[in-house]
Structures are given as C-alpha cells and as structure tokens.
C-alpha cells in the first residue's frame, strides 16, 4: 500500500476528488487528511459527501512559528507512515527541510512557470491570455517550482467572465489530479 496524505486549507474540492478517486485505487490508502485552517470547508464536505468513510482528519492550525508548525506536521506524517503528500490548495510555503524529508505533489492553476504564487487564475484572466492551464508538479523549496508531472491547457473564450474561466480551469483540475493519483497507484512512483 502507498500511504498518501492530503493537505488542504480552503474549499477542499480537489481533496474531495482525490478521496473519491482513491476508493477505486487498490494500492493507495489516504491515511491522513490534514487541514491547517479551522475555517476550511473540507471536514464538513467530507461529512456531507462521504458519510460512510472514516478518514483520519487532523486540523493543525498554524499558531506558533513555521518551525513549530512543521514539527507538528512532521509528527503527523511520521505517525501515519506517509509516503506521498498531495497538496490540494494548501496555502503554506514549506521549508526546504520539509521538502527534503517528504515527497510533496502540488496542483497549480496556471501554465507554470507563468503565474507562480497567488491568484493565478485572476492574473491570467486580467492579462487577456488566450489560453491558460493547470500544472501538477513535484514540490521543491521554491514557490510553485519543482519538476512538472503533467501540464494541460484550457482555452479562454471571448465570452468568458472570470467565473466561467475559473470554472473551466477547476473542471480540468478535478480531472487531472485524480489521474496523477492513479498514475502513482499504477506505477508506484511519480
């Protein structure tokens, strides 16, 4: 079994898609779901949409220094014997010590290296780009850097509003991220 942790901070829709996908993947066990903000919608979504499943959800709020927070996260990852961590809207920058200790994967809503950092959809849309895309990549100590696993484009239509543009991107995120989890299941590595 490959033991996977999901980390989220906000709405948690990608994490939900990964949880759903994992049900069909016989070599993947989601052994930990970690949320770092009490206001994240993910725990409630999991209760509403997955009432039969009892995943281990941990809320580790960042209260002290980054070092203290990462020490708590490390303990949770070691306790759950995690092999891979999928970041799903986790709004923290991990230290290089963390990224050396564990294998992290991230999803970013742009054609990296374009629009690394926050508000990638908004910036691509404001710039009037004819297309944008989604990138799933290994995490290193930089911000949205690290080797790319998969990158896929989606078009911006002339009729798009920011909302319809983001909806098209999110739909692609929800397809691509589970595909990467399946690749890990099938190939044993990424």
Task: Mark whether 108 is an active-site residue.
Answer: yes
**Least distance to ligand GRF, CB of residue 42, Å:** 7
Nearer to ligand GRF, 10 or 43 (CB): 10
The set of long-range contacts for 165-173, using a CB threshold of 8 Å and a minimum separation of 24, is: 165/121, 165/124, 165/125, 165/132, 166/109, 166/121, 166/125, 169/109, 169/121, 169/132, 169/133, 169/134, 170/13, 170/109, 172/133, 172/134, 173/14, 173/107, 173/109, 173/134
Nearer to ligand GRF, 81 or 124 (CB): 124
Q: What three-state secondary structure class fits 20?
A: helix
Nearer to ligand GRF, 11 or 141 (CB): 11
**69, 108, 137, 138: which one is catalytic?**
108
Residues in contact with ligand GRF by CB under 6 A are 8, 10-15, 88-89, 107-109, 173
Helix axes 162-187, 13-22, angle to 10 degrees: 30
Residue with the shortest CB distance to ligand GRF: 89
**Least distance to ligand GRF, CB of residue 79, Å:** 24
Q: Which residues pair with 5 in a beta bridge?
A: 32, 85
Nearer to ligand GRF, 83 or 173 (CB): 173
Please give the positions annotated as active site. Answer: 108
């Amino acid at each position: 079994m490959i033991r996977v942790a999901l980390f989220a901070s906000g709405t948690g829709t990608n994490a939900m898609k990964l949880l759903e996908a994992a049900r069909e993947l016989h070599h993947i066990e989601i052994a930990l779901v970690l949320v770092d903000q009490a206001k994240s919608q993910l725990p409630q979504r999991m209760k509403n949409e997955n009432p039969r499943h009892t995943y281990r959800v941990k809320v580790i709020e960042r209260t002290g220094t980054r070092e203290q927070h990462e020490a708590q996260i490390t303990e949770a990852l070691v306790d759950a014997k995690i092999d891979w961590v999928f970041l799903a809207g986790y709004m923290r920058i991990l230290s290089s010590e963390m990224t050396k200790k564990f294998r992290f994967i991230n999803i970013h809503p742009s054609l990296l290296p374009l629009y690394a950092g926050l508000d990638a959809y908004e910036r691509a849309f404001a710039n009037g780009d004819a297309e944008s895309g989604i990138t799933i990549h290994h995490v290193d100590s930089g911000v949205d850097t690290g080797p790319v696993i998969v990158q896929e484009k989606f078009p911006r239509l002339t009729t798009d509003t920011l909302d319809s543009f983001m909806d098209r991107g999110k739909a692609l995120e929800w397809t691509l991220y589970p595909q990467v989890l399946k690749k890990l299941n099938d190939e044993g590595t990424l």
